[in-house]
């Protein structure tokens, strides 16, 4: 299983970025996926998650609701995170993660996911 994030950059507050997570090595549409972030000196935290399949559902941390949107393109085996109205507190390394199945009550929990990418840095000033 390979997860490769991209799209991180340095932006000013109020700006937007779109992160991508290219996947390989497993059946993309069969796994639950999520975006997580880790700021220096802080624990990794869940940002957004999406269940796969026809009736996919999305979940967001309260801190990003209304600003971030998680989506997936099954044809491209790619997960996305559209981030709008960025704030300095959004500065972190962002990771995508995958797991075959995650209980809906735990979709933003770090330890529920087995497969992780290497991360992409987002800096908001």
> What would the pLDDT profile of 64-110 be if each residue is shown by its tens digit?
999 999 999 888 999 999 999 999 999 999 999 999 888 888 999 99
User: For the segment 49-62, what is each residue's pLDDT rounded down to a tens digit?
Assistant: 998 766 789 999 99
Position 53 scores a pLDDT of 65
d(C-alpha 113, C-alpha 79), whole Å: 15
* Cα–Cα dist 123/70, whole Å: 19
pLDDT cut 90: percent of the chain above it: 78
**Which residue in the block uniquely carries the two structure tokens 């991209």?**
6
Q: Stretch 24-33: mean pLDDT, rounded?
A: 81
Tokens, residue 68: 């971030």
Nearest to 20 by CA among 80, 103, 61: 80
Residue 13: CB partners within 8 Å, gap ≥ 6?
Answer: 86, 87, 88, 124, 125
């Amino acid at each position: 299983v390979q997860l490769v994030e991209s799209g991180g950059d340095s932006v000013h507050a109020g700006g937007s970025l779109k992160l991508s997570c290219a996947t390989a090595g497993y059946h993309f549409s069969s796994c639950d996926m999520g975006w997580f972030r880790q700021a220096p000196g802080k624990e990794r935290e869940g940002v957004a998650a999406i269940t796969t399949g026809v009736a996919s559902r999305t979940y967001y941390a309260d801190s990003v609701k209304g600003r971030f949107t998680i989506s997936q393109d099954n044809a491209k085996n790619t997960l996305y995170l559209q981030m709008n109205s960025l704030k300095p507190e959004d500065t972190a390394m962002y990771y995508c993660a995958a797991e075959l199945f995650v209980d809906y009550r735990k979709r933003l929990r770090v330890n529920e996911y087995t497969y992780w990418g290497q991360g992409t840095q987002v800096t908001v000033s």
